[in-house]
Amino acid sequence: MGLMTFMRTKMGYFLVGGIAVVLALFVLEPLLQQGGAIWGASSRTVVGSIDGKEVKYDEFNAKVDQTVAQFKQQYGGVMNPQMQAMAVDQAWQSEIAGIILGKEFDRVGLTVSADELYDLVQGKKPSPLILQYFGNPQTGEFDRAAVMNSLKSKSKDPNLSKQWGLLETEIERQALQQKYTKLISNSVYVTTLEANDEYINRNKLVNFKYVNLDYSSILDANVKLTDADYKEYYDANKKRFDNPQETRDFQYVSFGIQPTAADTAIVKSQVEKLASDFRITPNDSLFAANNSDVKIPYAYIGKGKLDAAVDSVIFNYPIGSFYGPKFSGNSYKLVKVVDSRYSPDSVKASHILIDPSKVGGDAKAFKLADSLKKLAQSGSNFGDLAKQYSVDGSKDSGGELGTFGRGAMVAAFENAAFDGKPGDIKVVRSQFGVHVIKIEKQVGSSKVVKLAYIEKTLAPSQKTRDAAYKKANAFLSEVKSDNFSALAQKQGYNVALADRITSTQGYAPGLDNPRQLIRDIYAADKGKVLPQVYNMDNAYVVAQLTSIKPKGQLSLEDVKKQIEPQVLSAKKGKLLSEKLEKALAGSANIEAVAQKVGKAVAPVQNMVFANPIIPGLSQENKVVGAVFGSQVGKLSKVITGERGVYVFTVDGFTNPAPLANTFKQKETMLTNISQRSLGSAFQALQEKSDIKDNRVKFY
């Protein structure tokens, strides 16, 4: 709740947050490259290595846990397998960035002096981290006194001293990052010639006419592709097939676990019996807590917090009303309206927190709280009492907690703060201790309700699950490496494909929890049917590894299926080019060409080089580039584009006025180039590094 509490409990997130700044700064790709073979590390405790520096599992996993905790804090405690995989990736990227950039800082001689660090912590130019965590919550301004108080306290608190060490290390790292950013930015420049070219490319206009034959005019079935066609395209586009990291493809059959009609009938019957008992139970809240699959706090809640089907009606129901069973989403809802009232939308409050274990138990804690309450009611300064008696970090700011809405505090604290009125001082017990709460201000007013709420999920029965597993297991026992698709088709099952799966990926098309499956795929040989049935949240899965695409230059065989549409277009392009070449021969103008191929001449007005999209068609870089390099009135050669083949003639160009402000043009270009150069610099550093990634063995 306060500054000192934050310093003690959340400083570990600085490392994660700081590295996130690095990643954003250098515009990293979604996944950094892997290095070496997946199973290359000899030690079972080594997650990987970066330029020879081993990343130990224990240390790395602690950073993963920090990232997971940060994600939970950001997303309200929600954590799924995909987010877990993201946390592992972010921690790994942080390791790579920290080591690579650290070496680079040393190489170029970047340092942060003691004077600079002092200034960043408590001087005239505080670090963004200091501003973020020592800002006054009421005014948003930097609270220098809070920094000084915390620095003084660290000599008496070893844990706080350790956290300050972590903070200062991160501040220093961010300062080095800023220096390196400035160094890179200052290394790029824009010439006057480049500025003028960019200006002309964005402002010079051209009018032209064209005739095109679209690839779609030839049916795919009428084009026969040969190995030579594939090889020709592959050889001409090899740079496109550089694989930054190993990926694998697998196919699978999914045996769904969905509630049957019998399951639905059983659950509905159970819910109806539950509703009957719920109506007459004398203890609504206890009954709901014991029978609901989803726990809704037994506290006042505002509109917009419940399932839409319930939320849209329940606020209009009188006290004592019963609602349900109502089926929506994938569950039945049963609701009793226990109470309703109008309540503040938010509250501003201060508090004093007393730890019973430090004063001799609950009885003495309450006695002290009552004494403090009487002192405050008699005119003693509440803030001074908080500074003297509170164990919460907010004591440094007189116990002030700022303004908060419902759901921000634990139930006991929230009820006291929202049920009272401004000026009230209340004593309550929560899991944190005994609170003396002063209600400073209440803002707004809206209807809130207290509900006894039961939600029962419609889930498949064990019998249904067993039946699905039996089918999956029967398929697994019969399938072989050479008949996976054929057997699935014979038995009426659909085969799905998951392609380009990385070793650390936390998701796969159509699968909700595939992490163990992906790990096993990376331990398998090509063509192998994995020897177990995988249990997803909503299905059982049998899978086969179909392809391994290694890091580096992919072979034609690796990409043959992937490039088939492009090869098909290239083959069509040759056929259509021959047709257009014949029409072009002997033609004096574009209209004659159009007549011979039975097409209309299409005009284009005010095209600019920097936006090469032909209206109604697509982006055609080669065509528009050729247009801007052509003479007025001259028929072009046949140009093979992305959508089809083209012949054009230029009607005229309109040149822009001379560039009036070269400096401004250069400045704009320099900003864009500097941003790209930062990402390019880090990419170059990464590519030069020896990175071995062994995470798939651990996560």
Give me the domains of the chain, ranges plus CATH numbers.
Answer: 3-186+690-697 (no CATH), 205-242+562-654 (3.10.50), 245-258+461-550 (3.10.50), 261-343 (no CATH), 346-443 (3.10.50.40)
288-314 confidence digits (pLDDT tens): 999 999 887 788 888 888 888 899 899
* Residue 84: half-sphere exposure toward Cβ, Cα within 13 Å: 14
Torsion angle, CA of 18/20/21/25, rounded to 10 degrees? 150
Distances (CA, A) of 501 to 245, 525, 564: 10, 15, 20
Q: How far apart are the first and last CA of the chain?
A: 34
Tell me the Cα Rg of the chain.
34
The chain-wide mean pLDDT, for the chain, equals 87
- Residue 38 in tokens: 């997946």
The closest alpha carbon to 317, from 338, 289, 302, belongs to: 338
The whole-number pLDDT of residue 296 equals: 79
Residue 490 has pLDDT above 80, yes or no: yes
Instruction: State the residue for tokens 């005010």.
Output: 606
DSSP 643-687: SEEEEEEEEEEEPPPPPS-HHHHHHHHHHHHHHHHHHHHHHHHHH
DSSP 298-311: SSEEETTSS-HHHH
The whole-number pLDDT of residue 139 equals: 58
**Helix extents (H) in 434-493:** 462-478, 484-490
Torsion angle, CA of 521/523/525/531, rounded to 10 degrees? -70
The whole-number pLDDT of residue 43 equals: 55
d(CA 420, CA 442): 9
d(CA 376, CA 382): 6
Cα 418 versus chain centre, distance: 35
Backbone region of residue 552 per phi and psi (left: phi > 0; alpha: psi in -120 to 50; beta: other values)? left
The answer to whether 399 and 392 are in contact (CB under 8 A) is: yes
Residues in the chain: 699
pLDDT band at 62 (very low <50, low <70, confident <90, very high): confident
Which residues sit opposite 442 in a β-bridge?
347
Residue at 565: amino acid letter: P
* Residue 364: half-sphere exposure toward Cβ, Cα within 13 Å: 7
Cα 23 versus chain centre, distance: 13
pLDDT band at 453 (very low <50, low <70, confident <90, very high): very high
Torsion angle, CA of 600/606/607/608, rounded to 10 degrees? 170
- Residue 159 in tokens: 């844990």
The whole-number pLDDT of residue 37 equals: 38
pLDDT band at 9 (very low <50, low <70, confident <90, very high): very low
DSSP state of 529: B
- Residue 324 in tokens: 């349900």
88-145 confidence digits (pLDDT tens): 998 998 889 889 999 999 999 999 999 999 899 888 888 888 887 787 655 567 778 8
Residue at 590: amino acid letter: I
308-340 confidence digits (pLDDT tens): 889 989 999 999 999 999 999 889 999 999 999
The answer to whether 336 and 418 are in contact (CB under 8 A) is: no
| Most confident region among 58-67, 179-188, 425-434 by mean pLDDT | 425-434
The whole-number pLDDT of residue 34 equals: 38
Mean pLDDT, rounded, for 413-418: 90
Rounded to 10°, the helix 114-122/158-185 angle is: 110
The whole-number pLDDT of residue 297 equals: 76
Please state which of the ranges 73-77, 126-130, 153-157, 348-352 shows the lowest mean pLDDT: 73-77
DSSP state of 555: P
| Most confident region among 128-142, 393-407, 541-555 by mean pLDDT | 541-555
d(CA 516, CA 541): 12
| Most confident region among 150-159, 235-244, 407-416 by mean pLDDT | 235-244
607-654 confidence digits (pLDDT tens): 999 999 999 898 999 999 999 999 999 999 999 999 999 999 999 999
d(CA 226, CA 560): 11
Residue 7 has pLDDT above 60, yes or no: no
The answer to whether 94 and 177 are in contact (CB under 8 A) is: no
The closest alpha carbon to 422, from 443, 446, 407, 436, belongs to: 443
The whole-number pLDDT of residue 572 equals: 96
The whole-number pLDDT of residue 250 equals: 97
pLDDT band at 269 (very low <50, low <70, confident <90, very high): very high
d(CA 173, CA 17): 12
pTM here is 0.63
